Amino acid sequence: MGSTIVLGIESSCDETGAGLVRDGPLPGHAVASSMDEHARYGGVVPEIAARAHAHSVHPVIRRALDEAGLRLSDIGAVAVTTGPGLSGALQVGLAGAKGIACALGVPLYGVHHLAGHVAADTLEHAPLPDPCMVLIVSGGHTSLLPVRDLARDPIVHLGDTLDGAAGECFDKVARVFGLPYPGGTAIDRAARAGDPHAIPFPRPLPGSYDFSFSGLKTAAARWAEGHVGRELPVADGAASLQEAVADVLTRKAVAACRAYGVGTLVVVGGVAANSRVRSPAEERCRSAGIERRVPPPRLCTDNGAMIAAVGDLLVRAGAEPAPLDVSIDPSAPLEHAAPHPLAAGTVAA
Ligand code: KG4
Ligand code: ZN
């Protein structure tokens, strides 16, 4: 069981990812992005994303196999994102995964995209300690999760965003600041030349494990409007926004670790690639005596290896594979790593 090679396929948004995992470590990993095709529209266009996935899925799988020095016939299981995400984009990945699983006669696992983000950290570091506190910060989600066994246990939510996500806040404010898509990386780059304390942007919902970014978005927009007719000091705006987001995220995450006596904080998702989110998390954790784990930036943003990593956990947990008529769920709630029950007798009591 332990040496099964799992192919992971990710196509929920604008990145087509394929990754191969065997017993934890990462032998192959390739990503193709349609980001440039969306840039002139200022955001992801679903039809363009779906078409780009259809073009890229085969070459990306080929590249991942070549990188790992493996052949298609070496694959022992296929894991694929079934949600949440863009409907057409998810359909392309699932169709590809079903085709391969069916042709090879190997099991297929449907995976929740966010569970993939959580498992991404295991590709670079050791298996997740039980328990750990996970902060997921992506383009569509912001959640604080006390995680025990990702493959077996239902996922418990300690805090969630009450409105938009941290990544969406970066993307929207970047537009207002006249920065290009994708906004998160543009804000990160612009912020390098700015003063993080120039503008006192709000830190919403103190004392709660939930998050809210709408007040921050409004404050940033008001600040930009206040400069009409004058040059906007974008670097200061970007640095101050990044500071506010990083401050709120890490403060709550570290408070949660302390309150629940959890010794490890794992920060995952596209926003975990942000330089300012990474560093205060490290400083705060060090002074609280908490281990901080963040995947390398290439594994923070969407990729197929993280989906393969969940597949690997499911295989090793003896999970029931998905039926071949499994379908996508564009708004799948984060309740389980896989939307299908584990094999009888393997579920943790
Ligand atoms: O996890 P991800 O790749 O896709 C989703 O599942 O949503 O996250 C994408 C989000 C976008 O909002 C993007 O702006 C943000 O992650 N992001 C960043 C950085 N790199 C990507 N945000 C801040 N700083 C970055 N360096
Ligand atoms: Zn993602």
Confidence grade of residue 279 (pLDDT, cut at 50, 70, 90)? confident
CB proximity list for 42: less than 8 A, separation 6 or greater: 175, 181
Check residue 1 and give its pLDDT. Answer: 47
Span(s) in the chain for CATH 3.30.420.40? 6-120+300-316, 128-294
Q: How far is the CA of 308 from the centre of ligand 2 (A)?
A: 14
Q: Does domain 6-120+300-316 have CATH number 3.40.190.10?
A: no
For the CA of 167, the nearest atom of ligand 1 = 12
pLDDT in tens, 2-27: 589 999 999 999 999 999 999 777 78
Percent of the chain with pLDDT over 70: 97
What is the tens place of the pLDDT at every residue in 146-175?
Answer: 999 999 999 999 999 999 999 999 999 999
Contacts (Cβ under 8 Å, ≥6 apart) of 251: 203, 284
What residue owns the CA closest to ligand 1's atom 24? 274
| Mean pLDDT (whole number) for 250-269 | 96
Q: Could you count the other beta carbons within 10 Å of the beta carbon of residue 347?
A: 13
Closest CA to 328 of 6, 105, 10, 42: 10
Residue 216 reports pLDDT greater than 60: yes
Q: What is the pLDDT of residue 340?
A: 55
Q: Which residues line ligand 1 (CB under 6 A)?
A: 13, 117, 138-140, 167-168, 170-171, 182-185, 188, 269-271, 273-274, 301-302
| The pLDDT of residue 177 is above 80 | yes
pTM: 0.94
First to last CA, the chain: 22
Topology of the domain comprising 128-294: Nucleotidyltransferase; domain 5 (3.30.420)
**Selection from 136, 48, 38 nearest residue 86 by Cα:** 48
Ligand 2 centroid to 292 CA: how many Å? 20
Q: pLDDT band for 258, please (50, 70, 90 cuts).
A: very high
> Ligand 1 centre from 341 Cα, in Å?
30
Q: How many CB atoms lie within 10 A of CB 340?
A: 18
Which residue has the CA at smallest separation from atom 23 of ligand 1? 184
Ligand 1 atom at shortest distance from the alpha carbon of 170: 14
User: What span, in angstroms and rounded, lies between the C-alpha atoms of 302 and 168?
Assistant: 15
